[in-house]
A and B are shown apart, each in its own frame.
Chain A
Amino acid sequence: EPEVTQTPSHQVTQMGQEVILRCVPISNHLYFYWYRQILGQKVEFLVSFYNNEISEKSEIFDDQFSVERPDGSNFTLKIRSTKLEDSAMYFCASSVRGGAAGELFFGEGSRLTVL
């Protein structure tokens, strides 16, 4: 069964460093998302991406965050200068279609620890 894959599974970084989290969505999917989950808290929406541009983003997704689909298969989330509060699980998701009737497929997540 096709799946969304994420790398790395765990990254430890120092505060202020740049981090790139990578995702390979399911191959025929067109809609891509990043979510995050701080330990013990809800899963939070960060950003959605379609047709090579951001379609929607949350208040969390400030200027420190960026997303890119550099080569037609990878979908990346970059955090420019990490803060302690960026420590969380980051989940990538993809969907073959947008809108309310489509289902999202999530990856296993990348755990980011900022020291």
Chain B
Amino acid sequence: DAKTTQPNSMESNEEEPVHLPCNHSTISGTDYIHWYRQLPSQGPEYVIHGLTSNVNNRMASLAIAEDRKSSTLILHRATLRDAAVYYCILRDGADSWGKLQFGAGTQVVVTP
């Protein structure tokens, strides 16, 4: 799978938006961009995914650059519960099984 680069950590104040960047300059045309998060002492949790267009769901928004070499996960109003490690993962659309390859992710700290 193509590699992603994320900042090690980010801080945010509660109720403010959080923009989490992810660089994936070697992305291929069939790679989907997935975001998962892992709250302390829990299993990973799906957040959102997209291929080319921006995506919104109840948890977050995903903004994908026009050239697809980067993307940004947007948490619109951070809560204390959003403190977690956020993983940006590329999944190969040509891979039938679609395993996830986790990196180190971005540790998000939310302060009240």
Chain A residues in the interface with B (C-beta under 8 A)? 4, 31, 33, 35, 42-45, 48, 50, 55-56, 91, 93, 95, 98-109
Q: How far is the CA of A105 from the CA of B43 in the complex (A)?
A: 9
Q: How far is the CA of A104 from the CA of B49 in the complex (A)?
A: 11
Across the interface, B42 reaches (CB within 8 A) one of A42, A45, A101, A108, namely A108
**Interface of A: prevailing SS:** strand
Taking residues whose C-beta sits less than 8 angstroms from the other chain, chain B's interface range is 20 to 34
Across the interface, A103 reaches (CB within 8 A) one of B43, B46, B97, namely B46
Q: Mark B5-48, 1 if CB is under 8 A from A, else 0.
A: 00000000000000000000000001110101010001111100
B104 touches A99 (CB 8 A): no
Q: Which residues of A contact B38 (CB under 8 A)?
A: 43
Q: Which residues of B contact A33 (CB under 8 A)?
A: 99
Across the interface, B91 reaches (CB within 8 A) one of A50, A100, A106, A108, namely A100
Chain B residues in the interface with A (C-beta under 8 A)? 30-32, 34, 36, 38, 42-46, 49, 51, 87, 91-104
B44 touches A100 (CB 8 A): no
Q: Which residues of B contact A95 (CB under 8 A)?
A: 98
B102 touches A42 (CB 8 A): yes
Contact A45-B100, Cβ < 8 Å, known A91-B43, A101-B49, A108-B42: yes
Can you list 27 pairs linking A and B with CB atoms under 8 Å apart?
A: A33-B99, A35-B100, A42-B102, A42-B103, A42-B104, A43-B100, A44-B102, A45-B100, A45-B101, A48-B99, A55-B96, A55-B97, A93-B43, A98-B96, A98-B97, A99-B93, A100-B30, A100-B31, A100-B34, A100-B93, A101-B49, A101-B51, A104-B100, A106-B44, A106-B45, A107-B43, A109-B43
Chain A residue nearest in CB terms to B44: A106
Across the interface, A56 reaches (CB within 8 A) one of B49, B97, B102, namely B97
A56 touches B43 (CB 8 A): no
B99 touches A103 (CB 8 A): no
Minimum distance in angstroms from A61 CB to a CB of chain B: 12
Q: Which residues of A contact B100 (CB under 8 A)?
A: 35, 43, 45, 104
